[in-house]
Every structure is written in C-alpha cells, then in structure tokens.
A and B are shown apart, each in its own frame.
Chain A
Amino acid sequence: MAEPVEFYEPRTIAEAVAVLASVPDACCLAGGQTLVAGMNMGPLFRPPALVSLQRIDELKGITQRPDGTVVVGAMVTHRTVAQSELFGGGLEVVREAAGCIAHPAIRTMGTIGGSICHADPAADYPAVLIATDATVVVTGPSGIREIPAAEFFVDFMTTSIEPDELVTAITFPPAPADAVSVYEKFTRASGDFATVSVALALSLRHGRCESVRIALGSCGPTPVRAAAAEQRLVQTSLDESDVQDAGRILCDAAAPMDDVRGTADYKLMLIPRLLGRTIQRAQERAVAWRVE
C-alpha cells in the first residue's frame, strides 16, 4: 500500500500560497495528468504533501480585457481552451495546440498551469507561449510577479518560479488585427508528445510578411526561438527560398536530443519541412480570413 500523502485543498490563492510556504516539499496538484501518472509508478515520484488547486475558483476562468489581452487561469483545462472562442487570429495557435494535447479524456482534466509548470520541452504549450509572447502570472509570499514566457522556461523541465510560488494565470497579449497563427505538430501516433512542433504567429499585408514569431517545441531543453530566422522572413513574400533560409537558421539554433520519438538528426530534418507546412497553412488562413 502506498505511503500516506498529506492532502490540502485550499479555496483561495492566498490559502494555497500559505500552505506552500509552510509545508516542506509540498507539491501543487493541478489536473494531475502527469503528477498522478508519476505517483502511480511508485515511491520515487511521491511528494509528501499535495496542494490540490481543484477548488480554487479564482484559477478557473478565461477572460478578455478591453485591450484584447486574453487571461487564462492556471486551472483552465485543455478541453476548455480548445473550445474557447476568445482564441482567434494571432491567438488561434493557443486553441489549436490545446486541442491536440494527448487525448480527449486527458484534456478533460489536464490544465495549462500544470502543463507549463512541468515544462516538458516536448509538451505543446511551452512553444505556444513563446510564439504568442505570453506572460506567466505568479503569486508568492512577497506578492505577484509577471514573468515573460521566455524567462519562465529556463531548462529541461525547469521553470523560474520558486517552490513557494504558484502560477495563477497566463496572459496572452492581443495580436495585430490581421494576424494569423498556426500550430503544427509531428507525432509518431495520435495523442503522443511532439517529435517536433512549430508554433507560429504571422502578420501579412498584401502577401508580405509584416511580422512573425516562431517557436519550436521538442528541439532543445526549452522552446527554441531564433530572431535571425524571423528577420529573414520579415518584408519577404515568404517564397520557397525565404522559408528554406529561415528553416536553416532555425536548425542552427535548435539543439534536439536523440530520444524515443526520433534521433536528433531526424528532428533536424523535420524542422524546415514543418516550418514550410506551418507557413503555408498560415497563408491559407490569412486568405480565408480576408474572404470572410
């Protein structure tokens, strides 16, 4: 029989932070879709105390501010994000990524806060947060801080939050009105983690690229972004040679590892192909959007 685990069920963010500050090695339980799987593997993965965030209503909503910023509570499930109408245009990539995380039953319980705190570089949200220039909102004993996504993911399965801090929300800034975005994921089988993924947000005017942000998932310990690759695409009409050059620059910036989903060499072959597919789909979306 399993070792007993202390179980806390705070009702407010303040209560949760108080527990994290006072109970040594307490571990937040969000949707549990990774943590409970780990606990099921045996004592190696079993924290002495769990702080369930399930009953904290403050963490559960998606709202849009007047300036268009979308604020997603940490406990919002992948299923809810995948069905939300607040993610369109430059933020459609968020909804698209949420809809391809694992399988339907996992998406019922898995949450955005849990996923990003786990910081698995093969997961879907990390690259999306980078591509959309999102901010992670964190509450700790000394108050609230806002961490740009690029500073949140610091290493393989490692974030910049402290053990007594709690992720409360993710804010997605409004994209330009004409922006489109796409998430493209290559997997061995439906529902798997990405072998390589590309999150892209793009603004086109008369077929020319006004601005672009690209982030790669599963291509290093943290999501990979290469400013030089984006610069290569800006003010071009995204012709084949432009996309090929950008793909080469991204490959130089990427540091994929050999793993069960593919060798590093294989992933480097995937990057330019997925980038091309992503940009093509973004262009199609931009056309469809104008026609509507």
Chain B
Amino acid sequence: MTINARTTLTSFVVNGDPQEVSVTGAQTLLNVLREDLHLTGTKCGCNQGICGACTVLCDGMPIRACLALAMVVDGRDILTVEGGKTDPVLSVVQQAFVETGAVQCGFCTSGMIMSATALLMRKPSPDRQEIREELSGNLCRCTGYAKILDAVALAASRLPIQESAT
C-alpha cells in the first residue's frame, strides 16, 4: 500500500512509450499529458468531464483525462491523439476527419477522434445511431456534428469488417 505519498513516481505507457513521471495526489492525467509530457493534443475544455475534449483511451476504453488522477492510471496503457503512428485504427480515423472536413476550430477534434477510435476498435462497422451514441459525450460548438459523423462512417468503411470480442 502506498502510504502518505504526497509525490509519487507514476509509470504508464503513452502511445507505446513507457513514461515515468513524478506526480502529486491531486494531479490529473490531463495535467501530466499536457504539462509534463508536452502532449498538448489532448485539450482542456471544461475540466469537469462535461465537454469530452480531453477524451483519451485507457487500456482501449475511453476516459476523461481531466477526471482521472495520474496515480490512478499507474501501470495503464494510454493512447492520445498523438498516437496515430502506433495505432492503425486511430490513424484511419484521423485521415477520415481530414478528408471529410470534420474539423473547424479544432478544439473538440482530438476528443472526437479518440471517442470514435474507441468505438471502432470495439465495433468496426457501427451504424449511424451507434456512432451518435458513442460521440454523445463530446461537444462541438462549430460543426453541427454532421461532418464528424460522416468522418467516422468513412473511417469505418475503410476498416476490416470482422467484429471484435466485446
């Protein structure tokens, strides 16, 4: 048991690279990604878990980086929007966003892409309603969402069709 740890060395994998960072008990994963690892693709929107701009994948599942304390993700595998080189699904989603014109101001984009990636990892050929549900926790104030949904559908059409286990 970790006792009385005001500062702890936390190690986790980010986009395939092992990282070791000294963190405090109240420090969030979002803060570590942006301030310590300088991975600023993950955005801080509301810092309250509402907007979805900080969505990253933790062991393949979407989480809010602003609501995950860094110490809690010790030992986990984190994928951020910078991980396109290491994750083929993420890369396909990113390319689809570019080609579809699904980006306007861009602030929500990395969260949208990560939520979409989480969906397509689990379910490579979702229907439109499943895409809407998976992205329901990501707010965009520019696009009206139509092109974002188009982009995810395009990415899905480019992925192999077999369904994964869950």
Asked whether B62 lies within 8 Å of A7 as measured between CB atoms, the reply is: no
Residues of B within 8 Å of A, CB-based: how many? 37
Number of A-B contacts (CB under 8 A): 108
In this complex, the member of A9, A19, A50, A108 whose beta carbon has the largest number of chain B beta carbons within 10 angstroms is A108
SS of B interface (majority): mixed
SS of A interface (majority): mixed
In this complex, the member of A8, A11, A40, A83 whose beta carbon has the largest number of chain B beta carbons within 10 angstroms is A40
Q: Which residues of B contact A143 (CB under 8 A)?
A: none
Asked whether A8 lies within 8 Å of B26 as measured between CB atoms, the reply is: no
Contacts A40-B48, A104-B118, A105-B137; A4 near B1 (Cβ below 8 A):
no
Scan A17-49; emit 1 where CB is below 8 A from any B CB, else 0.
Answer: 001000000000100110011011100001000
Q: Which residue of A lies closest to B111 (CB)?
A: A105
- 8 A Cβ contacts from A103-127 to B: 103-106, 108-109
Question: Complex Cα distance A104/B8, Å?
Answer: 29
Q: Which single member of A9, A50, A105 contacts B64 (CB below 8 Å)?
A: A105
Scan B48-87; emit 1 where CB is below 8 A from any A CB, else 0.
Answer: 1100100100100111101111011000000000000000
Asked whether B5 lies within 8 Å of A7 as measured between CB atoms, the reply is: yes
Is B91 an interface position by the 8 A CB rule? no
Asked whether B7 lies within 8 Å of A4 as measured between CB atoms, the reply is: yes
Is A67 an interface position by the 8 A CB rule? no
Is A2 an interface position by the 8 A CB rule? yes
Question: Complex Cα distance A29/B25, Å?
Answer: 11
Is B11 an interface position by the 8 A CB rule? no
Asked whether B26 lies within 8 Å of A190 as measured between CB atoms, the reply is: no
Q: Which residues of B contact A106 (CB under 8 A)?
A: 49, 64, 67, 137
**Nearest CB on A from B57, distance (A):** 9
Q: Which single member of A50, A104, A105 contacts B25 (CB below 8 Å)?
A: A50
Asked whether A109 lies within 8 Å of B26 as measured between CB atoms, the reply is: no
8 pairs from A and B in contact (CB 8 Å cutoff): A3-B26, A4-B24, A40-B48, A46-B26, A52-B69, A104-B133, A109-B63, A190-B136
| With A191-B136, A191-B137 already in contact, 16 other A-B pairs whose C-beta atoms are closer than 8 Å | A2-B26, A5-B25, A7-B71, A11-B1, A29-B69, A32-B72, A33-B67, A36-B68, A37-B47, A50-B25, A50-B69, A105-B52, A105-B115, A106-B64, A106-B67, A108-B63
In order of increasing CB-CB distance, the 5 nearest A-B pairs are: A103-B137, A5-B25, A7-B25, A105-B62, A4-B6
Chain B interfacial positions (CB closer than 8 Å to A): 1-8, 24-28, 47-49, 52, 55, 58, 61-64, 66-69, 71-72, 115, 118, 133-134, 136-138, 166
